[in-house]
Amino acid sequence: MILIADSGATKTEWACISKDGATRIGFFSQGYNPNYITGTQIVADIRANLPQGLSPDLVDEIYFYGAGVTELQYPFMEKTLREVFPKASQVFIAMDTLASCRALLQRKPGFAAILGTGANSCLYDGCNEGLNVDSCGFILGDEGSGGYLGKRMITDFIRRNMPPKVYELVGQELGRTNDELIDIIYTKPFPNRFCAQYAKFICEHLDFDPYFPELVTDAFRKFFDRIVTHYPDYQSYTFNSVGSVGYYFKPLLQKVVEEYGMKMGTVLQAPMEGLIKYHTQN
- Tell the burial category of 205 from Cβ atoms under 10 Å away from its Cβ (0-12, 13-18, 19+): middle
Confidence class for position 281, pLDDT limits 50, 70, 90:
confident
CA–CA distance, 102 with 169 (Å, rounded to integer): 40
CA 137 to chain centre: 11
Domains and CATH numbers, the chain: 2-96+272-281 (3.30.420.40)
pLDDT over threshold 90, residue 54: no
Q: Which residues contact 164 (CB under 8 A, 6 or more apart)?
A: none
Q: For the chain, first and last CA: distance in Å?
A: 15
Distances (CA, A) of 151 to 64, 139, 140, 198, 278: 29, 10, 12, 9, 35
CA–CA distance, 33 with 164 (Å, rounded to integer): 37
* The model's pTM: 0.84
Quick: pLDDT tens for 136-156.
888 898 999 999 999 999 999
- Tell the burial category of 281 from Cβ atoms under 10 Å away from its Cβ (0-12, 13-18, 19+): exposed
**CB atoms near residue 155 (< 10 Å):** 14
Residue 49 has a pLDDT of 93
CA–CA distance, 226 with 182 (Å, rounded to integer): 26
Quick: pLDDT tens for 5-36.
999 877 899 999 987 767 788 999 998 888 77
Residue 27 has a pLDDT of 92
Query: Percentage of the chain with pLDDT > 70?
Result: 99
CA–CA distance, 256 with 217 (Å, rounded to integer): 7
Q: Is the CB of residue 124 less than 8 Å from the CB of residue 105?
A: yes
Quick: pLDDT tens for 244-257.
999 999 999 999 99
3-state DSSP of the chain: CEEEEEECCCEEEEEEECCCCCCEEEEEEECCCCCCCCHHHHHHHHHHHCCCCCCHHHCCEEEEEECCCCHHHHHHHHHHHHHHCCCCCEEEEEEHHHHHHHHHHCCCCEEEEEECCCEEEEEECCCCECCCCCCCHHHHCCCCCHHHHHHHHHHHHHHCCCCHHHHHHHHHHHCCCHHHHHHHHHHCCCHHHHHHCCHHHHHHCCCCCCHHHHHHHHHHHHHHHHCHHHCCCHHHCEEEEECHHHHHCHHHHHHHHHHCCCEEEEEECCCHHHHHHHHHHC
